[in-house]
Amino acid sequence: MKIGFIGLGIMGKPMSKNLLKAGYKLYVYDIIPENVKEIEAAGAKACGSVKEVAENTEFILIMVPDSPQVEEVALGDGGLLEHAKPGTLVVDMSSIAPLIAQKVGTKLAEKGIRFMDAPVSGGEPKAIDGTLSFMVGGSKEDFAQAEPVLKHMGASVVLVGALGSGNTTKLANQIIVALNIAAVSEAFSLATKAGVDPEAVFDAIKGGLAGSTVMNAKVSMILDGNFKPGFKLNLHSKDLTNALDTAKNLGVPLLLTSQVFQMVQYLRGQGEGENDHSAIARFYETLSDVEMRKS
């Protein structure tokens, strides 16, 4: 099966490599030539444009940073709307605003091009080992075609509803992750300031009710002072912006999300935007004048 893959960044690279390992023939494109060359070296066919991807495939995956990039790939000059064949299935794995996913799907449908939104959770580590979680919005028929492909990149692939539902679910996911990191940071700053070894605190509570996947993934990074991005703070800022915008349109109060969003904006202003979102801990370290590190 020939698959088009557009967007070869932190997430797209390992995801595309997993599809190559599964035996799919990939036609890949990215605006950064070096990214394309890396995946070409792994066995993919390099393309010089979205048009070239569309002309060679009828199943296309998109993994780009945000709504504007998805709109450009799908609806812009030289994009999928112009060049994808009728009947092509486009699966957007980016995290974007639900209303934009619906807009793109409506426009593509006018040309007989099918579209699904399927954002992921798990960050770079799970993209590398192929255990991402996919939250998919679209028709049951399209899902049946997409699911076997997505399962080569993820451990969980769930159809949550109609088009746009995938990104709505991802917004809920990102709210929970951001608030969880903030809660962990707040609690561990208190413990550290009180003179308790934060590593001992982690060992004591991780198996109880306070334990979580987020805690297990992020506390070790915080305690090591390692904020190398698996998921950048800038990208989480984008997701929280989409969540707050969506909530405003629906009349839903997101009080805690708004507070964490302001923390994230402060950190971005301090030059932390390209660091991992576990850098939310730095907000508390600054306020508390303490570093949460292994002793």
Q: Per residue of the chain (295 residues), give pLDDT as tens.
A: 999 999 999 999 999 999 999 999 999 999 999 999 999 999 999 999 999 999 999 999 999 999 999 999 999 999 999 999 999 999 999 999 999 999 999 999 999 999 999 999 988 989 999 999 999 999 999 999 999 999 999 999 999 999 999 999 999 999 999 999 999 999 999 999 999 999 999 999 999 999 999 999 999 999 999 999 988 999 999 999 999 999 999 999 999 999 999 999 999 999 999 999 999 999 999 999 999 998 8
Cα–Cα distances (Å) from 169 to 71, 133, 205, 244, in that order, read 20, 11, 28, 14
Tell me which residues are annotated as active site.
170
Helix 233-250, helix 98-109: angle, nearest 10: 80
Its pTM stands at 0.91
Q: Dihedrals φ, ψ of 194, to 5°?
A: -80, -5
Asked whether 140 and 130 are in contact (CB, 8 A), the reply is: no
Which CATH number describes the domain made up of 168-288? 1.10.1040.10
Give the per-residue pLDDT at 230: 83
Half-sphere exposure of 281 (CA within 13 A, CB side): 28
Please report the pLDDT score of residue 113 as a whole number. Answer: 98
CA–CA separation, 169 and 274 (whole Å): 24
Q: Domain 2-161, what fold?
A: Rossmann fold (3.40.50)
SS3 137: strand
**Residue tagged 């600054």 (tokens):** 286
Domain boundaries, the chain: 2-161, 168-288
SS3 92: strand
pLDDT number for residue 295: 82
* pLDDT given at position 107: 98
Give the phi and the psi of residue 291 in degrees, each rounded to 5. -110, 130
What is the predicted pLDDT for the residue at 219? Answer: 97
| Helix, strand, or coil (residue 115) | strand
- CB atoms closer than 10 angstroms to residue 173: 18
